[in-house]
């Protein structure tokens, strides 16, 4: 029978932190900040904190369907596949694959923000309502995190507002003729459509990495917390963030 150990957790953690990420320093900073919040919640309620973080992969006993393992596996598989096609695929094909990569990262990031909203309740010493929180809209979750006494902006600001709106409606694409990414923002309140564009450099060097960093920092911070049972190993893990 397979036994998951702190040593295995460290191996997975090291793969995330030492990977060839475009914004590795940003990832380290986000992971460090998120771990501090996780540790604060764990001190207040270790059982609930562990349950919330584990729900990302396992769901909960009451709602196992809340597991995001399939979505996470899909994201990782496609993310790696897209990276491996750099230099091997046409510019247009690769550009559109990056769009899909962002959409996958966006959807998964929102599922992570749901968990952070629950963690926020733990620290605020409020009851955690898994079912009610799980089905909230992305905008509502982000608004509640931004209104928290905790500073969650290092996570919520990592999702570009314009792209978040466009990606959620599948209104974001690469224009091969103009060599630029374009999108539409649906302003339902004023019944208007706003157009925007973003350069490939900004999208690939900042926007996309920021979204993937949400996912990576959540997993990495959770692994550091798991290593708490082996102090020396946890210290080694935290050293990688320096």
Q: Please check whether residue 58 lies inside any domain of the structure.
A: yes
Instruction: Say what the alpha-carbon torsion angle 129, 133, 55, 114 is, to the nearest 10 degrees.
Output: -140
pLDDT in the model for residue 25: 93
> Model confidence over 188-213: pLDDT tens digits?
777 888 888 999 999 999 999 999 99
Q: Please check whether residue 1 lies inside any domain of the structure.
A: no
- Tell me how many domains the chain contains: 1
| Average pLDDT, integer, range 27-34 | 97
Q: Please check whether residue 34 lies inside any domain of the structure.
A: yes
Task: Describe the strand order of the beta sheet including 172-175 as a list of residue ranges.
Answer: 172-175, 180-187, 192-198
What 3-state DSSP class applies to 204?
Answer: helix
Q: Which residues of 113-134 are buried (b: 16+ CB within 10 A; e: fewer)?
A: bbbbbbbbbbbeeeebebeebb
pLDDT in the model for residue 2: 52
Q: Please check whether residue 66 lies inside any domain of the structure.
A: yes
Q: Please check whether residue 98 lies inside any domain of the structure.
A: yes
| Average pLDDT, integer, range 6-14 | 94
Segments forming the whole domain that contains residue 149:
6-239
């Amino acid at each position: 029978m397979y036994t998951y150990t702190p040593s295995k957790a460290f191996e997975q953690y090291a793969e995330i932190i030492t990977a060839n990420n475009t914004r590795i320093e940003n990832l380290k900073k986000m992971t460090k900040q998120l771990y501090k919040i996780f540790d604060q919640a764990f001190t207040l309620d270790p059982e609930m904190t562990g349950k919330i973080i584990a729900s990302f992969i396992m769901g909960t006993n009451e709602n196992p369907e809340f597991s995001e393992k399939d979505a996470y596996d899909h994201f990782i598989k496609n993310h790696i596949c897209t990276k491996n096609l750099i230099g091997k695929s046409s510019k247009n094909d690769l550009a559109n694959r990056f769009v899909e990569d962002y959409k996958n990262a966006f959807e998964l990031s929102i599922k992570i923000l749901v968990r952070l909203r629950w963690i926020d309740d733990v620290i605020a010493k409020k009851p955690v309502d898994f079912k009610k929180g799980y089905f909230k809209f992305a905008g509502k979750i982000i608004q509640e995190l931004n209104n928290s006494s905790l500073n969650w902006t290092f996570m919520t600001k990592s999702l570009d507002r314009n792209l978040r709106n466009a990606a959620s409606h599948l209104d974001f694409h690469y224009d091969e003729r103009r060599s630029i990414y374009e999108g539409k923002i649906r302003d339902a309140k004023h019944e208007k459509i706003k157009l925007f564009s973003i350069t490939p450099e900004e999208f690939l060097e900042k926007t996309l990495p920021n979204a993937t960093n949400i996912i990576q920092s959540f997993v990495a911070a959770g692994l550091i917390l798991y290593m708490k049972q082996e102090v020396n190993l946890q210290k080694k893990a935290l050293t990688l963030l320096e």
